[in-house]
Amino acid sequence: VAAMANQDPETLDALNRIIAAAEPFVHGGTRAVLGEGPVGAPLAFVGEQPGDQEDVQGRPFVGPAGQLLDRAMAEAGVDRSRSYVTNAVKHFKFEQRGKRRLHQTPTAGEVKHYRWWLIRELEFVQPRLVVALGATAVLALAGKALPIGRSRGSAQFLDGFAGFITVHPSYLLRLPDEAAKREAYAAFVADLVQIHALAA
């Protein structure tokens, strides 16, 4: 991607063509899953990387975590179709185990490698607020690792974007007991209500 820095796309579509044509920088990675949503969207949501379903379908946040995000957005009154949704890393990093493709967390170096694309996307979209979903997005947007629990809420990201830090929806899916899950989901919806108000 560093080599791409001397290419200077003039539109989001042109940038996306560069991203789509680039070699994956992570292990596994088949196709690039591009960001989705209108230029000028008030809200941009940044996840970690596409998962198995996203890689198959070629769209961000369409698997289990995406379905939970959809539900929480709808409950909070956030219109996904009017939001921009993308990932810090554009390829699915995985290890093959039999028939299963096991998600692997990208390294800080990999996140940094993909960062140029992410920032360019956001510069084209010009959202009022950039939402970091979980630790990898925070690493990409804040340029350093921050504890989500203590950093949750409004934030200033590198490159001058007004930001908001919240959990990744897959964290909610991984919680072991139902009561904890319900509570964490409610807190996530409350964050989205706040996010919606901040971008209004």
Residues making contact with ligand URA (CB under 6 A)? 47-51, 54, 60-61, 63, 65-66, 87, 170
**Residue 67 or 194 with smaller CB distance to ligand URA:** 67
**Residue 10 or 52 with smaller CB distance to ligand URA:** 52
**Residue 54 or 191 with smaller CB distance to ligand URA:** 54
Cβ 103 to ligand URA, closest distance in Å? 8
Cβ 3 to ligand URA, closest distance in Å? 25
Cβ 159 to ligand URA, closest distance in Å? 20
The answer to whether residues 88 and 49 touch, using CB atoms and an 8 Å cutoff, is yes
Cβ 63 to ligand URA, closest distance in Å? 6
Strand partners, 43: 129
**Residue 10 or 111 with smaller CB distance to ligand URA:** 111
Find the residue with minimal CB distance to ligand URA.
47
Distances (CA, A) of 66 to 8, 74, 130: 31, 12, 17
The answer to whether residues 124 and 39 touch, using CB atoms and an 8 Å cutoff, is yes
Q: Provide CB contacts within 8 A for 169, sequence distance 6+.
A: 65, 66, 68, 69, 72, 133, 188
**Residue 15 or 34 with smaller CB distance to ligand URA:** 34
The sign one gets for the Cα dihedral 80, 81, 82, 87 is: positive
- Apex 98 CA angle, 92 and 102, nearest 5: 30
Q: Phi, psi (5° rounding) for residue 165?
A: -105, 130
Cβ 105 to ligand URA, closest distance in Å? 10
